[in-house]
Amino acid sequence: MQTALARLRFMRGDPDPFRDLRAACFDAPDDLRLKLALGDLLRRTGDFDAAQELLESLVALSGRRAEVLASLATVMHEKGSYLRSVSFAREAYASRPASEPIAEILAGALLSIGDGEEALTVALRWRSRLPHDQGWIAFEASALRLLGHPRYRTLYDYERFVKVYDLEIPPGWQSIATFNHDLAAAQQRLHSLSTHPLDQSLRFGTQSQRSLLRETDPAIRAFLGQLPRPIEMYRQAIGSDPDHPLSSRNHGIPEIVGCWSVRLQRGGYHVNHTHPAGWISSAYYVEVPPEVADETAQSGWIKFGEPGVPVPGATPERLVQPKPGRLVLFPSYMWHGTTPITGDQPRMTVAFDVVPNPQQR
């Protein structure tokens, strides 16, 4: 409850969103859970020094517990102290080898110090346990890229797996421009908060609080109604290779499992990320600022291939220019983010995830 309240206050622009959580920590000094929650929120808001100080005090107070060491590894990683991050993460993982979150922290830290061999070992261990987890496929790919392994290109084949479609004009609209105008108006009504959630990829922007699949606005329903065709075209394009983590799941009737609206404002961007529970992910451009037309600056463009953690030499390998009415589909395991927009005009998009439903044929 305290964490949820702190997150909500942050998104509403409260100048001191964590005050009740800090008070709860003071009132219950032995409650490790509360202090770890506060440390996590401090880290997510960029106050790394305060988070480190809190976590180091927890180590002194409660000993070298795995959950505290893992949190400290994350803070050190984000501060750029990669060797210290690896040290804390290895110790935490040795204590809790069955913990997937700690394994993810270790894999990321290993990639940042350039240890592709050990990172690949960790990734493959968890890939064998969770073969459809998109995050572990991404970690495997990043380790393969670091090692110069040719299998990397079978996973990150941009020509084959990143596809661009123009959405067809929905029935009842005269043009894609008039449709996007109405869709943007419907989206705008869903953006009531002041800033981004603390657990999502966007920065300097807002996100709808519930899935668009639950909305009844005609423009939103019309948008959803136009998606089966490009999804089917994408499925035809990727094939059904039984040995590939993307195309091996290409059977049954696909299902959209999440759909949300994102509004980026001045300075807004998405950090590099994946969608661990997805299969095919997307970006549909409803409104874009004029600056995206500059093919040199590439402001607000979607980028692929740059990992969500710093990896030596791993820069973006493919960028796609946003245009109103453009839909981009790609594997959920593929690292993606955006370059920041710099002007005052916002960028409005819709994103959704698709998963195969093998029970329906």
Question: Domain count of the chain?
Answer: 2
User: Which region among 2-16, 113-127, 137-151, 205-219 has the lowest average model confidence (pLDDT)?
Assistant: 2-16
Question: Does one domain contain both 166 and 210?
Answer: yes
Encode pLDDT of 325-350 as tens digits.
999 999 999 999 999 999 889 999 99
* Backbone phi, psi, residue 202, to 5°: -80, 150
Task: Name the domain boundary from 129, 153, 177.
Answer: 153
Question: Does one domain contain both 40 and 134?
Answer: yes
pTM to 2 decimal places? 0.92
Encode pLDDT of 117-150 as tens digits.
999 999 999 999 999 999 999 999 999 999 999 9
Give the whole-angstrom CA distance, residue 41 versus residue 39: 5
Encode pLDDT of 251-304 as tens digits.
988 999 999 999 998 899 899 999 999 999 999 999 999 999 999 999 999 999
14 band by pLDDT with thresholds 50, 70 and 90? low
The answer to whether residue 361 is domain-embedded is no
Task: Name the domain boundary from 134, 153, 172.
Answer: 153
- Residues with Cβ within 8 Å of 125's Cβ and at least 6 positions away in sequence, in order, are 103
Residue 242 has pLDDT above 80, yes or no: yes
Q: What is the rounded average pLDDT for all residues in the chain?
A: 91
361 band by pLDDT with thresholds 50, 70 and 90? very low
CATH of the domain at 313: 2.60.120.620
Question: Does one domain contain both 26 and 52?
Answer: yes
Residue 283: half-sphere exposure toward Cβ, Cα within 13 Å:
31
Question: Does one domain contain both 215 and 294?
Answer: yes
Encode pLDDT of 75-118 as tens digits.
999 999 999 999 999 999 999 999 999 999 999 999 999 999 99
Q: Is 49 exposed, middle or buried (0-12, 13-18, 19+ CB in 10 A)?
A: exposed
Question: Does one domain contain both 9 and 138?
Answer: yes
What range defines the domain where residue 32 resides? 2-153
- Calculated CA dihedral for residues 161, 164, 169, 174, nearest 10 degrees: 170
Give the whole-angstrom CA distance, residue 336 versus residue 143: 16
